[in-house]
């Protein structure tokens, strides 16, 4: 567990995602949210910030005190509430009205540039099926959040026979736990699969429309 600031108070938080490293500032970041079991969430308020130096760990824009690594704090109140998306706010990529990912691009540079420019508190990852299936070229992109609930935005592009990437589908999903660490193209089922660290399938997208005609 970690202690971090939410609602202008210090709360007990449960890490959702593995650490990522910011080499420029030597600060590691993680995604965290209130601990919950099924439909119930626990909101534990702490008395004050733990004593000691500021941690080199952050959740969103606030310090995160790892309570298993030398920091301690007393719980002053404990509330059990129904899980609600109204206060368990997913940290997803902000998209201004009318500002969407490219529908078509001659190469992947404009696609990557748009996603990198809209990533917010996250870091994008990409999968190109160039070596997987000669008659089905797919580009999958997804943004891994480093703060908030682990909603994951994704985009799937097909490479046209005449050249250029066309947006097939975009949306979001929430991994059962942790995050989508990789994506693969399953040529037997014509689908892109987003996978967890242990290979569990978190989300599937049909890409049969990307298959080129013989």
Task: Flag whether 94 is in a domain.
Answer: no
- Sequence length of the chain is 214
Q: Are residues 18 and 53 in the same domain?
A: yes
Q: Are residues 134 and 197 in the same domain?
A: yes
| DSSP calls for 25-75 | TTEEEE-EE--EETTEEEEEEESSPPSSSPPSEEETTEEEEETTTT----E
Q: Are residues 183 and 110 in the same domain?
A: yes
Task: Flag whether 62 is in a domain.
Answer: yes
Quote the pLDDT of residue 4: 52
Q: What percent of the residues of the chain are helix, what percent strand, and what percent coil, each to the nearest 5?
A: 5, 45, 50
Contact 20, 11 (CB under 8 A): no
Task: Flag whether 15 is in a domain.
Answer: yes
Quote the pLDDT of residue 65: 66
Task: Please tell me the total count of domains within the chain.
Answer: 2
Contact 205, 158 (CB under 8 A): no
Q: Are residues 31 and 109 in the same domain?
A: no
In tens, the pLDDT along 41-67 reads: 766 667 667 777 766 666 655 666 666
Task: Flag whether 46 is in a domain.
Answer: yes
Domain boundary among 48, 82, 116: 82
Quote the pLDDT of residue 168: 94
Mapping DSSP to helix (H, G, I), strand (E, B) and coil, where does residue 166 land? strand
Backbone angles phi, psi at 209, to 5 degrees: -70, -15
Q: Are residues 111 and 191 in the same domain?
A: yes
Task: Flag whether 90 is in a domain.
Answer: no
Q: Are residues 116 and 158 in the same domain?
A: yes
Q: Are residues 116 and 165 in the same domain?
A: yes
Task: Flag whether 87 is in a domain.
Answer: no
Contact 152, 175 (CB under 8 A): yes
Q: Are residues 198 and 127 in the same domain?
A: yes
Q: Find the domain containing 33 and state its range.
A: 2-82
Q: Are residues 34 and 129 in the same domain?
A: no
Q: How many Å apart are CA 35 and CA 41, to the nearest integer?
A: 6
Task: Flag whether 166 is in a domain.
Answer: yes
Quote the pLDDT of residue 117: 87
In which residue ranges of the chain is pLDDT below 50? 7-9, 15-27, 89-93, 95-98
Q: Are residues 76 and 166 in the same domain?
A: no
Quote the pLDDT of residue 69: 66
Q: How many Å apart are CA 171 and CA 142, to the nearest integer?
A: 10
Task: Flag whether 180 is in a domain.
Answer: yes
Contact 203, 169 (CB under 8 A): no
Q: How many Å apart are CA 155 and CA 197, to the nearest integer?
A: 20
Quote the pLDDT of residue 123: 84
Quote the pLDDT of residue 17: 43
Quote the pLDDT of residue 167: 94
Cα distances from 151 to residues 1, 92, 142, in angstroms, run 20, 6, 10
Structure tokens at 165: 């990437």
DSSP-assigned beta bridge partners for residue 78: 44
Q: Are residues 137 and 206 in the same domain?
A: yes
Q: Are residues 119 and 168 in the same domain?
A: yes
Quote the pLDDT of residue 122: 81
Q: How many Å apart are CA 167 and CA 208, to the nearest integer?
A: 13
């Amino acid at each position: 567990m970690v202690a971090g600031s939410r609602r202008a108070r210090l709360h007990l938080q449960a890490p959702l995602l593995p650490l990522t490293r910011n080499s420029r500032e030597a600060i590691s970041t993680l995604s965290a949210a209130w601990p919950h079991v099924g439909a119930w969430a626990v909101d534990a308020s702490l008395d004050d910030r733990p004593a000691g130096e500021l941690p080199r760990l952050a959740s969103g824009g606030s310090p995160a005190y790892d309570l298993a690594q030398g920091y301690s704090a007393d719980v002053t109140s404990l509330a059990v509430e129904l899980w609600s998306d109204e206060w368990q706010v997913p940290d997803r990529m902000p998209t201004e009205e009318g500002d969407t990912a490219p529908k078509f691009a001659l190469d992947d540079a404009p696609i990557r540039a748009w996603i990198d420019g809209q990533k917010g508190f996250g870091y994008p990852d990409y999968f190109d099926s160039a070596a997987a299936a000669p008659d089905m070229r797919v580009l999958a992109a997804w943004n891994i959040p480093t703060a908030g609930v682990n909603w994951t935005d994704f985009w799937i592009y097909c490479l046209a026979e005449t050249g250029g990437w066309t947006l097939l589908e975009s949306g979001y999903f929430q991994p059962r736990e942790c995050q989508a660490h990789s994506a693969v193209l399953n040529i037997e089922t014509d689908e892109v699969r987003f996978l967890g660290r242990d290979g569990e399938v978190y989300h599937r997208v049909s890409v049969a429309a990307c298959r080129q005609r013989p």
